C-alpha cells in the first residue's frame, strides 16, 4: 500500500471467531488489488480471536480491541475510522476470492455504481460447498423491484463509496440483526447500485452465525423495514 489515502478500506467486526478468522483475514491479505487498509474491530472476544489477530504483522491491518458493544456499533466505528474512497465489508467467517477487489472495483467504476455486491458460494463449517447463491439481482431496476421481498445484497460481499455515509448515515441500532437490509433501503431509490453476476465470495453457513441465532427477530424487523420501504418509495424520504 502506498503512503497516500488507500483506495479501499476493508471493515470487519469480529467476536469469538477463532474457528474461521484466520482463513477470512488471509483471503483479504491475498487480494490481487493491493491498495487497501484493513480495519478490524475486536468486539470484546473472549476466545483466541485476539491472539490470532496479534499474530499478524501487516502494516495494512489496524486492530481495535475493546469491550463488547455489539455489531452495529462496531461496524459504524470501523467505517468512521476508514480513509479509503471505498469501503469493502467482510465477515470473519467468510472467504473472499483473490480477485474480488480487483473485479469489484472495475465493475463499480465502469458502471458508475455507488454500491456493488457479488454472488457467492455457500460453504459449511468445514468449508464444503453447500450451494451457489445467484439470486441477488444484477442491475438497479431489478434491485429496486425486489427489495420489498428481501435484501438485494450479500452483506459481506459489499463495496460502496465511503462518502455515502455522510449523506445517509450509518447502520441504525433500532434495526439490530437486519441493519444491512434497512441500510440498503436508504440507498437503492436514490443511487445506482448493482451486483456482479459472478461468484467472488464463500459465504459460510453454521449454527453460530447471527442469521441462525436471531432468525425470528430478523423476520419481525424485516416486516417493519418493508413498511419503511413502501413509505420511502411513495414519499421519497
**CATH number for the domain harbouring residue 47:** 3.90.550.10
Domain total in the chain:
1
pLDDT of residue 236: 57
Whether 14 maps to a domain, the answer reads yes
Q: Is residue 43 part of a domain?
A: yes
CB atoms under 10 Å from CB of 134, counted, come to: 13
Work out the average pLDDT over 158-185.
Answer: 91
Closest CA to 41 of 76, 7, 83, 8: 76
Per-residue pLDDT at 149: 82
Q: Mean pLDDT for the chain?
A: 90
Tens digits of per-residue pLDDT, 21-39?
Answer: 999 999 999 999 999 999 9
Of the pLDDT bands very low, low, confident and very high (cuts 50, 70, 90), residue 228 is confident
Q: Which residues form the domain of 45?
A: 8-144+152-173+194-206
Q: Residue 114: its pLDDT value, please?
A: 96
Q: What is the band of 178 on the pLDDT scale with cuts at 50, 70, 90? A: confident
Q: What is the pLDDT of residues 87-144, one digit of tens each?
A: 999 999 999 999 999 999 999 999 999 999 999 999 999 999 999 998 788 999 999 8
* Cβ count near 98 (within 10 Å): 13
Domain membership flag for residue 50: yes
Q: Cα dist. 179→76, 161, 199, 225 in Å? A: 11, 18, 24, 10
- In this structure, is residue 1 part of a structural domain? no
Element (H, E) at 69: none
Q: Alpha helices, DSSP H only, in the chain? A: 21-29, 49-54, 71-81, 100-111, 140-146, 164-168, 179-185, 210-213, 215-235
CB 37 within 8 A of CB 10: yes
Q: What is the pLDDT of residue 177?
A: 79
User: What is the model's pTM?
Assistant: 0.88
Residue 220 is assigned to a structural domain of this protein: no
Tell me if 224 is assigned to some domain: no
**∠ CA 107-119-88 to the nearest 5 degrees?**
60
Domain contains 105: yes
Query: How high is the pLDDT of residue 218?
Result: 66
> Which pLDDT does position 225 carry in this prediction?
73
Question: For residue 125, is it within any domain?
Answer: yes
State the pLDDT at residue 98.
98
Amino acid at each position: 500500500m502506498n503512503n497516500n489515502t488507500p483506495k479501499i478500506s476493508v471493515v470487519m467486526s469480529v467476536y469469538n471467531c477463532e474457528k474461521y478468522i484466520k482463513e477470512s483475514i488471509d483471503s483479504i491479505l491475498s487480494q490481487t488489488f493491493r491498495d487497501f487498509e484493513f480495519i478490524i474491530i475486536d468486539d470484546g472476544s473472549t476466545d483466541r480471536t485476539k491472539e490470532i489477530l496479534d499474530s499478524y504483522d501487516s502494516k495494512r491491518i489496524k486492530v481495535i480491541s475493546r469491550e463488547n458493544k455489539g455489531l452495529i456499533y462496531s461496524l459504524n466505528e470501523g467505517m468512521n475510522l476508514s480513509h479509503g474512497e471505498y469501503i469493502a465489508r467482510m465477515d470473519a467467517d467468510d472467504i473472499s476470492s483473490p480477485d474480488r477487489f480487483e473485479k469489484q472495483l472495475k465493475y463499480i467504476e465502469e458502471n458508475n455504481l455507488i454500491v456493488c455486491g457479488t454472488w457467492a458460494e455457500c460453504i459449511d463449517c468445514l468449508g464444503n460447498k453447500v450451494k451457489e447463491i445467484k439470486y441477488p439481482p444484477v442491475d438497479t431496476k431489478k434491485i429496486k423491484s425486489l427489495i420489498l421481498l428481501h435484501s438485494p445484497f450479500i452483506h459481506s460481499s459489499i463495496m460502496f463509496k465511503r462518502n455515502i455515509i455522510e449523506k445517509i448515515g450509518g447502520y441504525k441500532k433500532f434495526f439490530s440483526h437486519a441493519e444491512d437490509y434497512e441500510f440498503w433501503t436508504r440507498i437503492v431509490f436514490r443511487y445506482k447500485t448493482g451486483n456482479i453476476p459472478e461468484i467472488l465470495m464463500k459465504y459460510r453457513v453454521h449454527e453460530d452465525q447471527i442469521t441462525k441465532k436471531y432468525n425470528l427477530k430478523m423476520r419481525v424487523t424485516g416486516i417493519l423495514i418493508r413498511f419503511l420501504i413502501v413509505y420511502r418509495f411513495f414519499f421519497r424520504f
